[in-house]
Amino acid sequence: GAVVSQHPSRVICKSGTSVKIECRSLDFQATTMFWYRQFPKKSLMLMATSNEGSKATYEQGVEKDKFLINHASLTLSTLTVTSAHPEDSSFYICSARDQIGGVASPLHFGNGTRLTVT
């Protein structure tokens, strides 16, 4: 079945540094990928929609200059958390759908990245 690979699974960084998270669709192409954020024992909150070859669409309240998204190819989207602060510590998870399947394709999630900013 469709697989979404996300890397790294865990990262610890110091305040002020930047962290890049990669999301790859391994056996399908996705013109659109979605980035979610999940706090402990909370729901998944959509941060942004990553669009291949164009700018990402950010949800209200999400700083586009802080959470840089690049969707360089049909199988790769990256999220860079710039100048990270402790309050950015969270579980970040990407998801994608096979574009060929469209309506009939379920949304597949990566394994997530647990970011801890010290």
Partner 1 sequence: GENVEQHPSTLSVQEGDSAVIKCTYSDSASNYFPWYKQELGKRPQLIIDIRSNVGEKKDQRIAVTLNKTAKHFSLHITETQPEDSAVYFCAASRGRDTGRRALTFGSGTRLQVQP
Question: Rule CB under 8 A: which residues touch partner 1?
Answer: 30-32, 34, 41-46, 49, 93, 95, 97-99, 101-103, 105-112, 114
Give whichever of 78 and 113 is closer to partner 1, judged by the CB atom. Answer: 113
Min dist CB 5 to partner 1, Å, is: 11
**CA of 72: how far to CAs of 36, 40, 42, 93, 104, in Å?**
19, 31, 30, 18, 25
**Cβ 43 to partner 1, closest distance in Å?**
5
Closest approach of Cβ 46 to partner 1, in Å?
Answer: 5
Of 54, 100, 55, 52, residue with least CA distance to 77: 52
70 or 105: whose CB is closer to partner 1?
Answer: 105
In angstroms, rounded to a whole number, what is the distance separating the alpha carbons of residues 44 and 53?
Answer: 25
Would you say 49 or 89 has its CB closer to partner 1? 49
C-alpha to C-alpha distance for 79 and 67, rounded to whole angstroms:
6
One-letter identity of residue 110 = G
